[in-house]
Amino acid sequence: MKILTVLSKLIDYPSEDLYQHGTEIAELIVDDTHLNQQDKDGLLSFVEQRFCNSLLDWQADYDGLFERGRSLSLLIYEHIHGESRDRGQAMVNLLDQYRAAGLDIGVRELPDYIPLFLEFASTQGDQNAKGWLQDIAPILALLAVRLEKRQCNYQALFTALVSLSEMDVDLQPIREQVKDEKRDDTKKALDKVWEEEAVTFGGDAINGGCPTNTSKPSESQRRDQDVPIQFVDAASHLAGDNELRS
């Protein structure tokens, strides 16, 4: 599913290299056979607005959205497990799936980083890719709604991903859920986080111990060998992370 690679690049930090290929990206969106017309229109509007403005302005906007606070975190398991120990085991399991497909990630990326996850899913064949998207559809929908609330056109990217998953996700209850959420990217909110978080020292095998060699994953990984991303209460999740799909 080539469109997942396009969306991966658009959700990732906007680079100079990406900025030079706006026309090609728009053409890929127009020609894609998986997107519905409404999602195509939203994505083309995003591309037109972002690629016509300054790259520096785009980068600054990106930092303000995804690098401040946690509500728009692009780390999947931060929304599921928070800071619990379950998050570490879930990332180890996901990393094993990447390696089984022939992908080794660099030290700068965590395995649950959404652009990396999409790049992986794009190599797994259309049906498998759809299954991987269904695994994280609730998170994609939550991000779409939070971006919608901020009237941010990044919403179009996540809405398109929910559509591509073909998962029946009702956005209205999520809108009600986030309606009264307070922003966590204000100076006051960020200062409070710094006050509450403990300072730790030393290495971290999960967050900083990934290999540096990168290779393209193959489409040969079997869907029935993957470890599902499960959306359950953390207290009951300890045993679930190690289950393999039958």
pLDDT digits (tens, 9 = 90+) for 176-202: 988 888 766 655 554 454 344 443 433
- Separation of alpha carbons 143 and 70, rounded Å: 11
**78 band by pLDDT with thresholds 50, 70 and 90:** confident
Q: Quote the pTM value.
A: 0.74
Tokens of 35: 């997107």
The reported pLDDT for the residue numbered 208 is 38
Q: Which residues of 139-165 are buried (b: 16+ CB within 10 A; e: fewer)?
A: bbbbbbbbbbeeeebbbbbbbbbbbbb
Question: What does the pLDDT read at residue 186?
Answer: 53
Using the predicted structure, report yes or no on whether residue 50 has a pLDDT greater than 50. yes
Burial 203-237 (b: 16+ CB within 10 A, else e): eeeeeeebeeeeeebeeebeeeebbebeeeeeeeb
What does R_g of the chain's alpha carbons equal in angstroms? 18
List, for residues 9-19, the tens digit of each pLDDT value: 999 999 999 99
What number of other Cβ atoms are within 10 A of residue 22's Cβ? Answer: 14
* pLDDT at 238 > cutoff 90: no
- Residue 105: pLDDT band (50, 70, 90) is confident
| Mean pLDDT, residues 59-71 taken together | 89
The terminus-to-terminus CA distance of the chain in angstroms comes to 24
Give the residue-averaged pLDDT of 96-114.
Answer: 83
Contact 229, 246 (CB under 8 A): no
The pLDDT of residue 57 is above 50 = yes
By three-state DSSP, how is residue 72 classified?
coil
107/179: higher pLDDT = 179
Across the range 92-110, mean pLDDT stands at 82
Q: Which of 84, 85, 82, 116 is nearest to 98 (CA)?
A: 116
> Encoding tokens for residue 171?
């956005």
Q: How confident is the model at residue 194, as a pLDDT?
A: 39
pLDDT of residue 143: 96
**17-31, 47-61, 197-211: least confidently modelled range:** 197-211
**Does pLDDT of 36 surpass 70?**
yes
**5-10 mean pLDDT:** 97
In this prediction, residues 145-173 reach a mean pLDDT of: 95
Confidence of residue 107 (pLDDT cuts 50, 70, 90): low
